[in-house]
Amino acid sequence: MDTLSALQLFNNYSLLHSQYLHTMPIVASHVQRPTPRRVLATKPKQHSSAKTSPAAKPIVSPSEATPLVAVIGVGFVGTGLVDSFSTKYATMGFDISEDRLNFLRGEFRTRSNVSFTSNESDLANATHFLISVPTLLRSDKTIDLSYLQSALRRVEQWARPGCTVVIESSVSVGLTRQLLGPIAETKGLFAGMSPERIDPGRVEPPMHSIPKVVSGLDDVVPGSLNAVVRLYERVFDNIVPVSKPEVAEMCKLYENCQRMMCIAYANEMADACRGLGIDAFEVSRAAATKPFGYMPYTPSLGVGGHCIPVNPYYLLSNCEFPLLEACAEKMNKRPADMAKRIVGELMGVNKLQRRDSGIDINKKVLVVGMGFKAGQDHLVNSPGLQLAKELKRLELDVHFADSLVRQSAVPDIPRLADGDWNTKELETFDMIVISFRQWGMDFDVLDRVSGVPVQMWCQ
């Protein structure tokens, strides 16, 4: 392609994208929001290839005059994106699960500008693509990219030149460039990365008020960052542009890994306090009164969910972090370590060591909190579930209590009926372990339980 043709092609992309965003009437929002303002972290570089060509003409068809944002993957993150972007744009959620789509059709039935589909060909109507699919961790601690690769194949097939594609999924540093870059360059797509900051179950602060880090592959397709900024600035109050996707990728991992490491330190502090006869939570509360130089963290059974337990391994996949690696391994083993400690407390260390010789442990333990955190019924990397399974493996009589988690979700461990959450039933256990205070449960009843040790791993 000669230089003039390249200039014309780029200007066609730029003019088309500008028309996408500036010709569409804003969809009335159900929430009154302040006027968006940008927080400029970096100034986008000017590219010589982006100079206006007199011969360039916009390529716009009637179907392209109105933006349509396609969210590929409508789980936790994707649903939040549909909710937010549909306040300003026509929005389409794409997923392969019809059950999930049917549920969301009911949830969004009052939004006339929202649609859901599992038909790939519908993606041909989209002008902007947000990818929010899981990037899970395999048992060998490597990253499963199959969902992301599948989503990108769909984008490659259906996206038209001039469309914008943004990866919201958590990825290792450099992966946006590696996987999305070649597609963007070949098809002429504006491309970038914007790490999600959704906290499942949290309603404050609202999603649109959380500063949004955005990036673009400007060195691959010039104008990418500006295209991403224009898309997001209508939806979020504060936009934080960074120089390249690698910065955005590292930003997300740095945030979550810091949290995991701080919790690991709080757990070690709690273990030390236990040996010294000190209440670790009292120490945490006292330390939190310092108004500077301290960030409060409290002990726990571990960390759960899709992000915090697995994000360290995204960094470790192509970087050396000895301290982070040690913390991650320690946190992974914590539920099992706690199970051994509980058995030791119930039976005595000598009996625990002789368990394999045929001694009947025959102790009844209740684990409270099976979801990965308060307010959630999802079991992804749940410390409470891991603890319960390990206690069962050690041949204790284990039950669980959780107002949001049904028996069908944990079929191999008996569930305490909601009506049995009372003093009489709770006093039939030899120990009660509280992973977290699940919503909808009255924890004051534990104050009236006598003769049963209660381990609280939450405040």
257-456 in CATH: which number? 3.40.50.720
- Could you give the percent of the chain with pLDDT greater than 90? 76
Under DSSP, the state recorded for 374 is T
- Straight-line distance from the first to the last Cα atom of the chain, in angstroms, rounded to the nearest whole number: 65
Q: Which residue has the higher pLDDT, 288 or 18?
A: 288
Whether CATH 3.30.700.30 fits 3-242: no
Task: Please choose, from the candidates 71, 86, 76, the residue with its C-alpha nearest in 3D space to the C-alpha of residue 30.
Answer: 86
Block residue for tokens 């534990």 = 446
pLDDT confidence band for 356 (50 / 70 / 90) = low
Task: Say how many C-beta atoms besides its own lie within 10 A of residue 250's C-beta.
Answer: 18
Query: Residue 200: what pLDDT?
Result: 75
Query: With left for phi above 0 and alpha for psi between -120 and 50, is residue 198 left, alpha or beta?
Result: beta
Torsion of CA 426, 427, 431, 433, to 10 degrees: 30
What are the extents of the domains in the chain? Answer: 3-242, 257-456
Q: Are 438 and 371 in contact (CB under 8 A)?
A: yes
pLDDT confidence band for 361 (50 / 70 / 90) = low
Q: What is the average pLDDT score of the chain?
A: 86
Residues 369-424 pLDDT 10s: 999 988 889 899 999 999 999 999 999 999 999 999 999 999 999 999 999 999 99
Instruction: For residues 176-201, give the mean pLDDT.
Output: 94
Residues 100-115 pLDDT 10s: 999 999 999 999 999 9
pLDDT confidence band for 45 (50 / 70 / 90) = very low
Query: Residue 38: what pLDDT?
Result: 52
Question: What distance in Å separates the CA atoms of residue 90 and residue 425, rounded to the nearest whole number?
Answer: 53
Question: What distance in Å separates the CA atoms of residue 225 and residue 243, rounded to the nearest whole number?
Answer: 8
Instruction: For residues 338-363, give the mean pLDDT.
Output: 69
Q: Which two tokens mark 237?
A: 């109050």
Report the run of H or E that residue 164 belongs to, with start and end: strand 164-167
User: Is 257-456 the same fold as 3-242?
Assistant: yes
pLDDT confidence band for 20 (50 / 70 / 90) = very low
DSSP string, 69-119: EEEE--SHHHHHHHHHHTTTSEEEEE-S-HHHHHHHHHHTTT-TTEEEE--
